[in-house]
Structure formats: structure tokens, C-alpha cells
Amino acid sequence: MIKIYITPTCSSCRKAKKWLDEHNVKYKEINLLTNKLTVDDLNLILKNTENGFEDIVSPRSKIIKESNIDINEMTVSELKEFIINNPTVLRRPIIVDDDRLQIGYNEEDIDVFMPEELRKLMISVWCNSDDECDYKTILKRYLEESRKNDR
């Protein structure tokens, strides 16, 4: 299951959710301000990072600046506890599943969360010679089919 960690005022979070909705991608939304992160949440996120905490923690966050905290001096467990107690230090949105991670919203990179069925359609020749075969047409057909199947 795809999880998206957001805050309500984050414009990048709204863009990411809009993309997921437009592509009929099912996800679980986790508001960082109302749902307390768990160690399991952090472990799932960290498992998919390339550079660990460096990828997910914003050194420009207000609490880090005002508290003059050096996260490089913390142990892993101290840093996890700090993030759980201060989730606004995280870059947002964080979109993650068992194998993939995206931090922030990037229109090109978010394609990794495109449903497998849609990917197959994009790769295969799904259009007749008289049809439009652009991305929007294929996406429209895919969404029509998936909505029929959801009923």
C-alpha cells in the first residue's frame, strides 16, 4: 500500500495527492500533524532512502534552526525519537511503499507510482492506427476501464 505523509498547508503535498487521484492510485494519507509517526513508519521510509536521514530531514526546518540542533551528533535512535516528536522537520510530501520512495513532488519522478496496468498500456501498442496514441488518451482509456472495474 502506498502511503503519503503530508501536512495540510503543503502545496507540494496537494500536487502529489492530485496526481495520485488523477491516476487512480490508491493510497493512505497520513497527516503528520494529527497522526503520530511510529518507528515502523520511519523504518519503512529509511529503508528506501539512498542517504538515510539526510534525504528526509530538512536542515532548514524552524525547530532545527531555532534550537541550534546538530542532527549529525545524534544517535540513530535519538534522531528517530526527535523526528517522531517533531515531524515538521521532515521534507514533504513523503510517498512510500515497500519498494519505492519519493520525497517532495516532482512530476517526472512520481511516475514510479503509476499503476502497473497503466504502465503496460503505455508500453504496448494499445491504439488502433486511426486513434490518438498520446499519453492523455491512453490515461483517459485506462481511467474509464478502472472505474468500470471498481463498480
Instruction: Determine which one of 10, 13, 127, 133 is catalytic.
Output: 10
Using alpha carbons only, what angle is made at residue 109 by residues 106 and 110, rounded to the nearest 5 degrees? 80
- Quote the DSSP letter at residue 90: B
DSSP β-bridge partners for residue 28: 3
Strands 101-103, 27-31: parallel, antiparallel or unpaired by DSSP? unpaired
User: Burial, 5: exposed, middle or buried (Cβ in 10 Å; 0-12, 13-18, 19+)?
Assistant: buried
Catalytic-residue membership of 10: yes
Please give the positions annotated as active site. Answer: 10
